[in-house]
Amino acid sequence: MRIKLKKNCSLAPHQMMIAIGIIVSTSFIIGAIFLLMGAYLVLPFALLEIGIVVTAFVIHARSICDFDELELHDQHWIVRQERSGVLSEYRLNKGYFALDKKALPNATLTVHTRTQTIEFAEWLTAKDREVLFDQLRRNLDPRNS
């Protein structure tokens, strides 16, 4: 069984670029119009605003592709995570790790081994996280193997 968890993104990447283009071009046009009218300080502030907006969108774009992927096999699990472009993969043998959920309603699910802790499912709602936790618990149950 394979489960892939991704963020819910309201805009596709090309739509995001169109939105950035509209915001940036509007600010630049307004700054240029004020420059032509003799207000010389508006354009530098418009350029500063453009730089800040583009920086914010770049930071947002780095995390927009983050995901958690769980592959559940008979004797092991494989957990893959991507965070800000960095891919991590963990292979966990059944019986050598514990699945846990934190008490807070918006907390992540956690896998504990002797040497590491892996948190995942941070983008799910509390209800969906509970359903996933129950499903993973059933997969861990030795009677189901």
> Residues 8-32: pLDDT tens digits?
777 777 888 999 999 999 999 999 9
Residue 54 main-chain phi, psi, to 5 deg:
-65, -40
Tell me if the pTM is above 0.85: no
Instruction: Report residues of the chain scoring pLDDT below 50.
Output: none
DSSP state of 123: T
Amino acid occupying residue 125: T
E strand or H helix that includes residue 129 = helix 126-140
Q: Which residues pair with residue 111 across a beta bridge?
A: 99, 118
Q: How crowded is residue 111: how many other Cβ atoms within 10 Å of its Cβ?
A: 19
Give the pLDDT of residue 37.
Answer: 96
Beta carbons of 119 and 109 less than 8 angstroms apart: yes
